[in-house]
Chain A
Amino acid sequence: DAKTTQPPSMDCAEGRAANLPCNHSTISGNEYVYWYRQIHSQGPQYIIHGLKNNETNEMASLIITEDRKSSTLILPHATLRDTAVYYCIVRLYMIYNQGGKLIFGQGTELSVKP
């Protein structure tokens, strides 16, 4: 079963910040929060991940609450090309060298409008 809960859809005006929330109240101490997005019929694209600290890269920022039970992905200046399904994923801890198991939730369909 998915370990994350996201709103099914959100709208955002072009040029504004898009804030996508995610609840992961059952996350364990050694599980990571990952965000991917999927533009229609393409493969999922990695955005960002974190364990407990806030993270920023050229695409987005990830804010994780202190209790780690929720997080927010921030796209600082959304464009029409950011329209996609955004998945918040808790990556399960794996035995070393066994790879990583991603369990996708239902995701949030973000529509960026002119």
Chain B
Amino acid sequence: DTEVTQTPKHLVMGMTNKKSLKCEQHMGHRAMYWYKQKAKKPPELMFVYSYEKLSINESVPSRFSPECPNSSLLNLHLHALQPEDSALYLCASSQGSGGLGDTQYFGPGTRLTVL
């Protein structure tokens, strides 16, 4: 089973709202990732958590706040977003070893629209 689940599938929020995206995997993976994908562009890495610690932050604005409560869950807290933050947000997970077998498996994504 290589399933990564994400909720919600779609989210519409105003610029003053606070919302959260959720990602879950039950593959025993120890690394989890957030990517952002704008329309007709490739995914871009935002954050990497490894063994529940933030290991990579790709200079993402502080209005995006990741959280990894345990090895199976990854959240992305959103606050004071801008319309240009509208995108498909993708979660992925991998074993976390960094070696040859460390394949990332992606969830279906959350389509976010900021009004």
Which A positions have Cβ atoms within 8 angstroms of B?
Answer: 2, 32, 34, 36, 41-46, 49, 51, 87, 93-107
Partner of B51, one of A44, A49, A97: A97
* B103:A96 contact, CB within 8 angstroms: no
Partner of B109, one of A42, A93, A97, A107: A42
What is the CB-to-nearest-CB distance from B105 to chain A, in angstroms, rounded to a whole number? 6
* B103:A98 contact, CB within 8 angstroms: no
With known contacts A43-B108, A44-B90, A101-B56, A107–B42 Cβ distance under 8 A: yes
User: 29 pairs across A/B with beta carbons < 8 Å?
Assistant: A32-B100, A41-B109, A41-B111, A42-B108, A42-B109, A43-B92, A44-B106, A46-B103, A46-B106, A49-B100, A49-B103, A51-B100, A95-B98, A96-B99, A97-B30, A97-B50, A97-B51, A97-B96, A97-B98, A98-B50, A98-B56, A99-B48, A99-B49, A99-B102, A100-B31, A100-B94, A101-B48, A106-B42, A107-B42
Taking CB atoms, residues of chain B closer than 8 Å to A95 are 98
* B100:A98 contact, CB within 8 angstroms: no
Majority SS at the chain A contact face: loop
A95–B88 Cα distance when bound, in Å, is 28
Taking CB atoms, residues of chain B closer than 8 Å to A87 are 42
A80–B90 Cα distance when bound, in Å, is 25
* B51:A46 contact, CB within 8 angstroms: no
A82–B4 Cα distance when bound, in Å, is 21
Partner of A98, one of B2, B45, B48, B106: B48
Taking CB atoms, residues of chain B closer than 8 Å to A100 are 31, 94, 98, 102, 104
B97 lies within 8 A of chain A by Cβ: yes
